[in-house]
A and B are shown apart, each in its own frame.
Chain A
Amino acid sequence: MNSSKKDKNLSFWTTRRNKISTSVGKWTGGEDVICHGHLMMKDLLGNISYMQMLVLNITGRLVDEKVAKWLEGNFIGVSYPDVRIWCNTIGALAGTTKTSVVSATVAGTLAADSRGYGGSQTSVYGMKFIQNALKQKQSGMTLEQIIKNANYKNGKPVITGYARPVARNDERLEPHQRMTEKLGFSVGEHLKLAWEINDYLEQHHDLAMNVAGYSCAFLSDQGFSPQEVYRIKSLMVASGVTACYVDYYERTSGSFLPQRCDDIEYDGHPIRTID
């Protein structure tokens, strides 16, 4: 308002107006598509897995086939077609109102972008914790000191990856360990520390590592950053959501857990009139 035209530096805006400059990729119609330096049609299609493609698009790195295979297993491990799980409830509600499948799947996926569950956003906390914990350990801190630095609730440390909201024993953990072994991975520094933390927490706080803690440690050992894993896992609950959507799409509208008025507990202001 008060600055004169000559004072304003508009070059940042004018150089970007009507011009895209990127190193990520480019489609050249009738020829090919460049993805982070690779040719999609000539080199990638038919030669790599979809998971390798997904990781390439997100991180710019063409990861080893077995890393992609592990991630695919990890995705399978959260594709529960159980409608009680929050994101899947949303899929079912979308099914019962006959929204489009994409709306349903995206809505459920959005719901799982949660600081409480879902595996994508929670990975940020879990990976930051284990990567930071390893640095702390390497700088000479003890496990007790590392755990002491966490936030506490009701006397227990709150660390993503070392609790589970519904059941104590995580049925996904052992299959993930088996998968890691079968694919020929050795236990890296982060995973080794994660097990040490698990032992400490079990002994002192009755908490155990769940699949989030395990996968965050494993993926840290593979060189991924917290944000990269958040991005890679952004759609990981999608198929479970779609399954529950399809289930209820095929049924009578409104048939998913119909509620009576008194199924909602009202705890607000008593009935009143406008003055």
Chain B
Amino acid sequence: MSNKKNFGYAKKTSTSILYEKPNEDNPFVAESVYIHGYNLTELTSKKSFVEVLILLFTGELPNANAMALMNALMVGLINPGPRNPAVRAAMTAGISKSNTPHLLPIGLMVLGGEDGGATEVEKSMSFILEAFSNNNRFYSSFDFDKTDTSEGDFKIAPGFGSYFSQRCPVTHQIAEQLIAFPETKYLNWLHSQIIDSENNSAGWLPVGLAAATFLDLGIKPREGIGLYQLLCAPGIAAHALEQTHKPLSSMPFLEDSQYELKQKR
């Protein structure tokens, strides 16, 4: 141990989120629990899940507008759908009889990606903050000239781009609902930029919509990663669990004729 250097590891783990008031006779048991200062039992009796969710991630209970905005986003993102890679991954695990508790984590891992996943939410939030801070340079921040989908979809910025060669209609419908909420400066600013552009192939992607809404709710970019996974989790779990009740043969397994093995160069 003589060559050990003291790197100053803390004696205790610390948190500013939750306080557990110990029982006087048994300090392993909490007598009461406080989230950002509020007694959990007071929260359960007076506040909704959405309000406490925002409290967890921002440290403060939201006003009615913020709660309604988050609620709308949560419904909008609740099910990425069975063709989404994260949901497909969880469904594939479900149909192939993986342990049931693995299904949601499998989907969430796939949902963590840099392209269309939670990591892109953080990148998108950082991009939006930077672009917004210098409004007159916003157009140059977005690469609106990109329109070529011959090699697949493209991004004009993190969170914004084409979806199967066009704007994603459903994401745009949800965006139009969200911009109607008060105190949504990022959502409205971004939406006007997209609508005003002549590039009809690019627009809101779900990760960009989540990113802008999170910023309007005062959520930080890194927190956006976990929150996005959380918001998409219900659909991933539901689809995966549905598949567990079906036989393995009820999902396609491609024939050899549909599988081309190219020669190695």
Contacts and interface: CB of A to CB of B under 8 A. Distances in A.
B169 A22 contact: no
A155 interface: no
Interface residues of A, number: 50
Interface residues of B, number: 60
Interface of A: 1-3, 7-13, 18-23, 25-26, 28, 34, 36-37, 60, 99-100, 102-103, 110, 165-169, 258-274
B105 to A, nearest CB: 8
A19 B21 CA distance: 59
Contacts of A1: 166-167, 169, 172, 200, 203
Interface string B155-176: 0000000001111010010000
Given A18-B258, A23-B261, A99-B101, A268 B16 contact: yes
Contacts of B213: none
B247 interface: no
Contacts of B200: 1-3, 7
B38 A274 contact: yes
A264 B11 CA distance: 10
Interface stretch (B39-47, B135-143, B229-237): B39-47
A19 B166 CA distance: 22
B129 interface: no
Interface stretch (B26-34, B185-193, B216-224): B26-34
A262 B38 contact: no
Given A18-B254, A100-B99, A103-B102, A271 B39 contact: yes
A265 B101 contact: no
Nearest to B17: A268
Q: Provide the main secondary structure of the chain A interface.
A: loop
B102 A258 contact: no
Interface string B70-102: 000000000000000000000000000001011
B22 interface: yes
A20 B254 CA distance: 8
Contacts of A10: 164-165
